[in-house]
Amino acid sequence: MNFGPTEEQQMVKDMVARFVDDEIKPVAAELDETHRHPQEICRKLGEMGLMGVSVSADYGGAGMDNVTYVMAMIEISRGCASCGVIVSVNNSLYGHPLKTYGNHEQKLKYLTPVAGGQVEGCYALTEAGAGSDAGAVRCRAELKGDKWIVNGVKKFITNGNVANYSVLAANENPEKGYKGMLTLVVDLKNTPGFSVGTIEEKMGILASGTAEMVFEDAEVPAENLLGERGQGFRQMLEGLDAGRIGIGCQACGIGKSVLEDSLQFAKERVQFGKPISSFQAIQWKLADMATELDAAELMLLRAAWLEDNGLNYEKESAQAKMYASDVAMRAAVEGVQIFGGYGYCKDYPAERHMRDAKICQIYEGTNEIQRMVIARKLLGAR
């Protein structure tokens, strides 16, 4: 068992950390305030190979492993949670299904520009009646001649307002439930019948757009079917397993930023003639944060290692996402407490971290759903 990164992994981590400190952290507050999509950051991250970390270089990616992806994602999210989730979606929810089930032509056309960071991708799964119950997708796809005709409305889609391409979960026969599901790759800029609906006003991750996606007799070429008909539900589950690692990394990165900020503030804030870092009550909060964040990071690295080695990682990704997001929320709450009144004001980052952390307990499977996944695996249920 080796807990040390390889030379290449450490090099990538150090490179990303420098970029985060120099170019992401200085604009994170402005991105939060303006709700601006960080396009210039995304393009630079693409040039660094971070929009398709584990995608083959033949299809625009960096050709590295998922352990490296975890290290990079934590660093990016340490700088800005919105940037973190954009990178996560490109790599996992969009990139994983194409990487796993796409044919050569599909990968060249739809994976290469996203993995290379030229444009964003998204994953259109959630609907008004299909959130935690992902098998209840009602978005209809009917094959007519050489086109799929798609009708339905997707909700809460990360990158949905800026993405060029989408992996779309639809149902050929809703009466069959999850057995009728299939997956299509959609060119959102060149699909008649597609439009962006409501862009949500959210509590956190404000530089990451969350959009409604509307399909009204939208025409998608028949060859854009990903994998096989009826395979969509399995593809969805596998994609979510990968996505949970990314969201766990986002949460861990938020928590690390909380710890950094809290340490600095505790050393500088003087009360009763002493820095508050000298008080045991503050020291214990910092110690708990650091310990739980280290544990979360190790769980994420384990899940990524299992994926890299072709082993089942469903339980481990659920555990890592659940634990990391709970840890991030606890750290964020304690961070506000350490900052005191300042923590409740927008002049300081503590309140932003608290707003950003909460969503990690909700999207890509609520933590209640994660506990169901974990329990099912423990009990041997299918």
Q: How many domains in the chain?
A: 3
Measured CA to CA, the distance from residue 181 to residue 170 in angstroms comes to 6
Residue 108 maps to a domain: yes
Among 194, 229, 264, the domain-final residue is 229
Q: CATH number of the domain that 39 lies in?
A: 1.10.540.10
Can 364 be counted among the known catalytic residues? Answer: yes
Residue 149 maps to a domain: yes
Measured CA to CA, the distance from residue 363 to residue 177 in angstroms comes to 22
Q: CATH number of the domain that 353 lies in?
A: 1.20.140.10
* Whether residue 335 has pLDDT greater than 80: yes
| Residue 161 φ/ψ region, left for φ over 0, alpha for ψ in the -120 to 50 degree band, beta for the rest | alpha
pTM over cut 0.85: yes
Please give the pLDDT value at position 155: 96
State the average pLDDT over residues 64-78. Answer: 97
Measured CA to CA, the distance from residue 364 to residue 247 in angstroms comes to 8
Among 90, 119, 148, the domain-final residue is 119
Residue 1 maps to a domain: no
Residue 2 maps to a domain: no
On whether both 375 and 237 belong to a single domain, the answer is yes
Helix axes 314-339, 367-379, angle to 10 degrees: 140
* Pairing mode of beta strands 270-271, 165-171: unpaired
Residue pair 181/171 in contact by the 8 Å Cβ criterion: yes
* Tens digits of residue pLDDT in 166-207: 999 999 988 888 899 999 999 999 999 999 999 999 999 999
Please give the pLDDT value at position 83: 98
* Whether residue 2 has pLDDT greater than 90: no
On whether both 135 and 213 belong to a single domain, the answer is yes
On whether both 241 and 353 belong to a single domain, the answer is yes
State the average pLDDT over residues 142-153. Answer: 96
On whether both 240 and 306 belong to a single domain, the answer is yes
On whether both 225 and 264 belong to a single domain, the answer is no
Work out the percent of the chain whose per-residue pLDDT is above 70: 99
Q: CATH number of the domain that 153 lies in?
A: 2.40.110.10
The single residue of 268, 351, 364, 368 carrying the catalytic annotation is 364
| pLDDT tier at 333, thresholds 50, 70, 90 | very high
* Whether residue 260 has pLDDT greater than 70: yes
State the average pLDDT over residues 340-355. Answer: 97
CA 361 remoteness from chain centre: 12
Average pLDDT, the chain: 96
Please give the pLDDT value at position 382: 60
* Tens digits of residue pLDDT in 109-134: 999 999 999 999 999 999 998 888 88
Neighbours of 5 (CB within 10 A): 16
* Whether residue 352 has pLDDT greater than 90: yes
Per the structure, the complete domain to which residue 164 belongs is given by: 122-229
